[in-house]
Amino acid sequence: MYIQVLFSTIDYKAVCAFYNENKDPNANPLEEINRIEGGFMIKRKMESKDGNVKLVDDNAIVKQARWSRKNLVTPTGYYTFSDAEWILIHQSLMAVYGPEQAILHNGRMPPIR
């Protein structure tokens, strides 16, 4: 999945706040990713050999999507969001910017020619 947007400036705090208020209480929060192109990330829960759940740091394994020409996409080789997470990110963008400003697409983004 990926999300196409029709606006130019993103309010990460507002989008993350809507997402985090509406996510499963046991799920990790949506955060702005600290990358030059911008985007979102969710830290993955990792289980250690002793069965304890621990969170990895920001530079370890995260699920993520980054901006590419007004499309929020997961780069090849990185962990992507679940369908439910993509849908909630889409709902969050629509809540902040309006229902016609964000389009959720199934499948991978077509190549840019």
Q: How many CA atoms lie within 13 A of 110 on its CB side?
A: 1
Q: Please report whether residue 29 resides in a domain.
A: yes
Q: Please report whether residue 49 resides in a domain.
A: yes
Determine the pLDDT at residue 100: 95
Mean pLDDT of 73-83: 89
Determine the pLDDT at residue 59: 44
Q: Please report whether residue 35 resides in a domain.
A: yes
Residue 56 has pLDDT above 70, yes or no: no
Q: Please report whether residue 111 resides in a domain.
A: no
- Which pLDDT band holds residue 60 (cuts at 50, 70, 90)? low
Mean pLDDT of 70-78: 90
- Its pTM stands at 0.84
Q: Count how many domains the chain has.
A: 1
Q: Please report whether residue 112 resides in a domain.
A: no
Q: Averaging pLDDT over each range in 11-20, 39-48, 55-64, 102-111, which range is the top one?
A: 11-20
Q: Say how far apart CA 50 and CA 105 lie, in whole Å.
A: 40
The domain of 48 spans 2-105
* 108 to 17, 20, 27, 44, 66: CA distances (angstroms): 27, 25, 25, 22, 13
